[in-house]
Amino acid sequence: MNRFAELLDRLVLTPSRNGKLTLLTDYFRAVEDPDRGLALAAITGDLHIAAVKPAMLRMLVTERMDPVLFGYSYDYVGDLAETVSLVWPQTPGNLPNREPTLGEVVARLQAASRSDGPKVLAGLLDSAGTSARFAIIKLVTGGLRIGVSARLAKQALADFGKVEVAEIEELWHGLSPPYTALFAWLEGKAEKPRNTALALFRPVMLSNPLSEGDLEKLDPADYAAEWKWDGIRVQAVAEGGIRRLYSRTGDDVSGAFPDLADAMHFSATLDGELLVGDPRQATGTFSDLQQRLNRKTVTPKMQQQYPAFMRCYDLLQVGGEDLRALSFRERRGRLEAFVGTLDPSRFDISPFVDFTDWQTLEELRRVPPHPIIEGVMLKRWDSAYVAGRPKGPWFKWKRDPHTVDAVLMYAQRGHGKRSSFYSDYTFGVWTGAEGEEELVPVGKAYFGFTDAELKQIDKYVRDNTIERFGPVRSVRADRDNGLVLEVAFEGLNRSTRHKSGVAMRFPRISRLRWDKPANEADRIETLQALLDR
């Protein structure tokens, strides 16, 4: 249990992706079955343990210690799980010779009935040390919140076994904790597990961004062009009565889109974009789509107001026949025939963009016909469907980003290599009547600048600090003083969480405007105009 507890503690404080991968692969190497597989399941959210409510936890602890002292402690720490793990009374004579393993903890928790759950939990807490107690409480209260996605965990498995992450993704939905066969394969001790489950995820094919000079080397006749839709890339798989919608990283998102899942009356694997609206009439905007995102449950009203549909790009498999090795041209032909048989309110095809030369396409790309289009996709007519991001067959050619001139307001110290630099910037634009203008924060960015520019901004922050709050500095920013940053972003959403009412998508610093006076930075109205387009 201690090794798992230590892993959680390290992961939560390690900001860098590579650092997290090292911690995970080392853990998989050092820890035996079934503990490592259970840890993996806990991280990917596939470990199912009956939850214990916070009120129960509080009751258990105040039965064991003075409620006033517990109150002081909780006030100070602020987190219930952590407080309980720290104050839980230790009776030295009572400790077993060794702490329980993760496997033992999970087995006891899973075997506990609803009524004896609290007693079992208390027994486990009695037998564990401080760190292990914290991990146990996290397991039973649900949600580890350690900043590790299922995707990253799968990448760590791939690194551990020196295989492609696509292989892990393809296997994943046929496996279950504690993944003994998977680890045996990754360690070279057994054959790759055979997947016999139905409606599995097939690793998706991704594109590369078109870079400077790429077009000159490409022949327009070799490529088809489609609009690039800014929804959610999904894979719809139906087989033997099982219907699943997967995200592009293989997470099962069917639960959030029951309306679309219900319409999957077929036996095939489709690749496409999930959007909202009715494809025969109007496609919803990104703000509309947002209404359906990140929800565990979805009301009938929501499904009616923002119905989900799929705009299909590709057909990977139909009735047991694997089409992935065919050319894009052939697959597209099959796709058109196939989608024609489906419910037209739930499925349509992403239309081609007609062009003969790159110049024409460039002009079309600049003025897309719908706000949810973020550019064009180029696909070689002869390309097979390959997992991952091969260079050459598919390109994405994005619309130019929006930019805004904003004023630097706060700077926060970075992590790791950047721990001595103020590298995370909050910036704002002007609002308010003439003569009473003030800055309102509109976003935060921590990349887009060179190392040399980072040094310059860092110096500026240190020289113009007006207040400090821990790792954050408030920087002088008024009508006469301030650093103007040109910020590039992909789009703007309405936000009720931010004072400015807007939230930027993918903001980054595109240019430092040392030359521009702060009072000439943009006003909030400039951004609001973008929202309404």
Partner 1 sequence: MRESAVSYNRLPAAELYPILGIMRPSDLLHPRPEGLYCPPGDFFIDPVRPVNRALITHGHSDHARSGHRSVLATRQTLDIMGLRYGENFAGATQAAQLGETIALNGISVSFHPAGHVLGSAQIAVEHQGTRIVASGDYKRQRDATCAPFEPIQCDVFITEATFGLPVFRHPPDTEEIARLLKSAAQFPERSHLVGAYALGKAQRVMRLLRDAGYDRPLYIHGALAKLSEYYQSQGIDLGQLEPATVESGGKDDFTGAIVVGPPSAFADRWARRFPDPISCFASGWMRIRQRAKQGGVELPLIISDHADWDELTATIRETGAEEIWVTHGREEALVRWCELEGIAARPLHLVGYEDEGD
Binding site for partner 1 (CB under 8 A): 6, 9-10, 12-15, 19, 22-23, 26, 65-66, 68-70, 72-73, 76-79, 82-83, 86-87, 90, 130, 413, 415-417, 419-421, 470-471
Min separation Cβ 12 and partner 1, Å: 7
**21 vs 168, beta carbon nearer partner 1:** 21
Shortest Cβ 77–partner 1 spacing (Å): 6
Bond from prior residue into 92 cis (ω within 30 degrees of 0): no
Half-sphere exposure of 300 (CA within 13 A, CB side): 0
Residue 455 Cβ vs partner 1, minimum distance, rounded to whole Å:
9
Q: How far is the CB of 78 from partner 1 (least distance, A)?
A: 6
Output the smallest distance, CB 36 to partner 1, in A.
Answer: 16
Return the number of the residue (413 or 444) whose C-beta is nearest partner 1.
413
Q: Is 275 within 8 Å of 283 (Cβ atoms)?
A: yes
Task: Name the residue nearer to partner 1 (CB basis): 65 or 466.
Answer: 65
Choice between 133 and 173, CB closer to partner 1: 133
- Cα separation, 366 vs 399, in Å, equals 6
Supply the minimum distance, in Å, between the C-beta of residue 442 and partner 1: 25
For residue 237, which phi and psi values (nearest 5 degrees)? Answer: -125, 125
Q: In terms of CB distance, is 49 or 77 closer to partner 1?
A: 77
Q: Compute the least distance from the CB of residue 511 to partner 1, in Å.
A: 25
> Based on CB atoms, which residue is closest to partner 1, 13 or 529?
13
Output 26 or 288, the one with its CB closest to partner 1.
Answer: 26
Q: 427 - beta bridge partners? A: 408, 443
Both structure tokens of 208: 């590369």
- Give least dist CB 466 to partner 1, A: 18
Q: Tokens in use for 282?
A: 């109007």
Separation of first and last alpha carbons in the chain: 54
CB atoms within 10 A of CB 471: 13
Return the exposure string of 150-182: e unless at least 16 CB atoms fall within 10 Å of the residue's CB, then b: bbbbbbbbbbbbeeebbbbbbbbbbbebbbbbb
Residue in the block written with tokens 């079992």: 120
CB nearer to partner 1: pick between 22 and 456: 22
CB-based contact 70:89 (threshold 8 Å)? no
**Dist CA 250 CA 254 (whole Å):** 11
Judged by beta carbon, residue 18 or residue 110, the one nearer partner 1 is 18
What is the 8-class DSSP label of residue 148? -
List of E strands, 401-516:
402-413, 422-431, 438-445, 465-469, 472-475, 484-489, 491-494, 502-505, 508-513
b/e per residue 271-287 (b: at least 16 CB within 10 A): bbbbbbbebeeebbbbe
CB of 447 to partner 1, least distance (A): 17
* Amino acid at the residue 420: S
